[in-house]
Amino acid sequence: MSDSNKNDTGISGQTRRDFLRAGAIGGSLLAMPAWVAAAGRGESAPEAMTRSGRVRGFSDRGMNVFRGIPYGADTAAYRFRPAAVETPWDGVREALEFGAATPQRRDAEPTSEDCLFLNVTTPALRDGGKRPVLFYIHGGGYNNGSGSDPLYDGVNLCHQGDVVVITVNHRLNLFGYLYLENLAGPAYADSGNVGQLDLVQALQWVREHAAEFGGDPGNVTLFGQSGGGAKIATLMAMPAAKGLFHRAWTMSGQQVTGAGSRAATQRAGLFFEAAGAAPGDVDALLAMSTDQLLEAATVKDFSRVEDRSIHFCPVMDGDALPRHPFWPDAPPQSKNIPMVIGNTKDETRAWGQDEDFDLDWDQLPERIEKRQYVDISPDKVIAAYREMYPDYTPSEVYFAATTAGRSWRGAVEEAQARAEQGAPTWVYQLDWGSPIEGGRRRAFHTLDIPLVFNNTAVDDSPSGDAADARRMADRMSGALLAFARTGNPNFDGIPAWDQYTLPTRETMLFDDPSQMANDPRGGERAFYSQVPFIQRGTI
């Protein structure tokens, strides 16, 4: 999970787009060369029928692409409440450009409360192909992001696996997760989870329209990175999502526990105060602009010293989310859903500042104290790591400890709960490292995105596009496609991938070459198991 004041897809406090693209996004994200070229070749523009009207897309490298299809109404009229169905239109709606992202402080693209849009890439329309549907949920924590990043382009997956790929925008931050029921009454009972309910609504749209776009409504795979993986874990415990998806593949994103209603209400109280409104005066919030509301959300959270804004996440409200997603056990409603749980070995190198790569032992305790999410004395952490890995430098200890104590711990909790439940589960760790910055980022947070999408050739992909990157992409995307088609990630391009069981803890190490390992980093796992795991934002 990302820090509430940072983008999951960011590096060194910048968005990944800022860090990697440095202005190239205008050409790759917003321009429309594919459909212009198709028109010049005389290719006909594909059209599809939705419940609200016809849409016209474009052809891109032989695939049918539709962008900005609405699956819900403008949420400005439903602020803090579940959305309505989209408004029907007459004629044919052009689906050539991405729809607006939800309002957010890092707005590298147009934003609006009218943000409930899907993007579909498919090999064929209405052909009875019953292709697996791959539904991607973007990262950015619960605060920012959208489904329009060039790394999420689905054309390569469609060619490689004959599948349908869908990306989605939904409400985030205060618009999707500000819990108001205890302050504003039952009319806002769902307010702490409307961002999740948007995803449910999108999946309902997918079930209704999969056949129109050549897909199988009975074979929908959710996959998502960071915040997207956490949203998937949460959907696995939401009654409204039951039956809407059939596989789950999460990457560096876990949601073991949600926010309790007391903590969520305390955060709402902070928000009202910062907005200059009386506690529970929703009318005042409804009258404010999106910019005013986003500014109020920057008030310092009470959960951690480092947080500089309110921490938003799903709320165990007794209705939309009646239980914690993966505590005290894995959700029974999802026991039969095959699941892959993955992480990258060096997650926190994504956020490393220059000084973090050149720490000395005197600087290390303070840095660990700020960045690990569990409450263990930094001195004890350092002593344990120096015993386990005597050759590690202070910086290597810092990145290993903050990765294990920050995000990997949640993956272990989820995988263990699934194993105890007897649910079909596979676990991976990405060990292969990125070549950027001379390789110092290694296997950092977000590196698996271009690999599972097989998009290493996208401009400025963090994977690069060398032969080893393409091999890794073939392996990870191949495993994803096998999983989507069969419910099992095994295919000929990787070693036999065994299910995760206890006490063996079988784990696929994606590297060049890839291999299976039992309980990798077992010493770190055992060290952190001495304290209970509580997801950030729960209290």
DSSP-assigned letters across all residues of 187-249: GGTTGGGHHHHHHHHHHHHHHHHTGGGTEEEEEEEEEEETHHHHHHHHHTT-GGGTTS-SEEE
131 - beta bridge partners?
215
Q: Which is the catalytic residue, given 226, 309, 461, 514?
A: 226
Read off the tokens for 363: 């600087």
Cβ-contact 61, 34 below 8 angstroms: yes
CA distances from 427 to 249, 338, 339, 500 (A): 10, 11, 9, 6
Read off the tokens for 311: 């921490």
Residue whose token pair is 């990765």:
403
Q: For 407, list phi and psi in degrees, rounded to 5.
A: -120, -35
Cβ-contact 103, 176 below 8 angstroms: no
* Whether residue 226 lies in the annotated active site: yes
Burial class (CB in 10 A: 0-12, 13-18, 19+), 462: buried
CA distances from 121 to 128, 187, 199, 367, 489 (A): 16, 37, 18, 44, 22
Q: Which residues are catalytic?
A: 226
